[in-house]
């Protein structure tokens, strides 16, 4: 099983500032990594796939980078609607997809 | 616009079988190179992939659940289903169905809470 570790568990940032979220894989997942945003009571929403490609309709302030074992999700200028929980997911191990434990992005 | 909707009992007794169905609307479940997955989330916790099915009927399951999981598809009804046997309280979670294409999951159902309790 590929273990995905996200840091920090909670990130406090002020609106308008930049947020940087990290995800580390226990072994290489190449670029087969996705990021999701989840708000309370809602299903996850795909933000990024292929480590750096924005999904349809995702604002340009969201960007992803990295490959192998180290990945980053950056939100360039936080809007009020961006405060949520973010998950990374690897789909390189086709027979056992795994998610990180999540980073909660809260208002500072 | 593709939409997915989970349905099934919200309460299941321990040792029984959890059964859920996902109905796909806004497009044929057979069109495109997609697979259809179940993912669950215990309250306040992270996401766990349960397994996937292709419209050919081919399946992949999470090894930790494989002995208890069956996913099936009914293309005539545009549905796919999950059965999880011998449930315990640890299986209490929100269950999501989702569409994948090897690029993450782009469409999700709203989720349905299943509680395992006597």
Which pLDDT tens digit goes with each residue over A39-93? 999 999 999 999 999 999 999 999 999 999 999 999 999 999 999 999 999 999 9
Å from A79 to nearest chain B CA? 22
Contacts of B104 (CB under 8 A, 6+ apart): A34, A36, A46, A48, A49, A55, A89, A91
Question: How close, in Å, is residue A11 to chain B by CA atoms?
Answer: 17
pLDDT digits (tens, 9 = 90+) for B82-98: 999 999 999 999 999 99
A64 Cβ under 8 Å from any chain B Cβ? no
How many CB atoms are closer than 10 A to CB B53? 22
Interface test with B, best of A93, A97, A101, A104 (most B CBs within 10 A): A97
The minimum CA-CA distance between A64 and chain B, rounded to whole Å, is: 14
- Indicate left, alpha or beta for B86 from its phi (over 0: left) and psi (-120 to 50: alpha): left
Which of B45, B62, B110 faces A43 most closely, judged by CB atoms? Answer: B110
| Residue B45 φ/ψ, nearest 5 degrees | -120, -175
């Amino acid at each position: 099983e590929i273990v995905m570790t996200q840091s920090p568990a909670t990130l406090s940032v002020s609106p308008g500032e930049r947020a940087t979220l990290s995800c580390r894989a226990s072994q290489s997942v190449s670029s087969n990594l996705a990021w999701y945003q989840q708000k309370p009571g809602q299903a996850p929403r795909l933000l990024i796939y292929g480590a750096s490609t924005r999904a349809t309709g995702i604002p340009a302030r969201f960007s992803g980078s990295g490959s192998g074992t180290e990945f980053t999700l950056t939100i360039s200028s936080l809007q009020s609607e961006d405060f949520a929980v973010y998950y990374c997911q690897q789909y390189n191990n086709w027979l056992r997809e795994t998610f990180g434990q999540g980073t909660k992005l809260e208002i500072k | 616009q593709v939409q997915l909707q989970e349905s099934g009992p919200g309460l299941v007794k321990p040792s029984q079988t959890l059964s859920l169905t996902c109905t796909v609307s806004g497009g044929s479940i057979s069109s495109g190179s997609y697979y259809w997955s179940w993912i669950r989330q215990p309250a306040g916790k992270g996401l766990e992939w349960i397994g996937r099915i292709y419209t050919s009927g081919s399946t992949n399951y999470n090894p930790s659940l494989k002995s208890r999981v069956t996913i099936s598809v009914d293309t005539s009804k545009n549905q796919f289903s999950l059965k999880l046997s011998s449930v315990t309280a640890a299986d209490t979670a929100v269950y999501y169905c989702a569409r994948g294409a090897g690029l993450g999951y782009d469409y999700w159902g709203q989720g349905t809470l299943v509680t395992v309790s006597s």
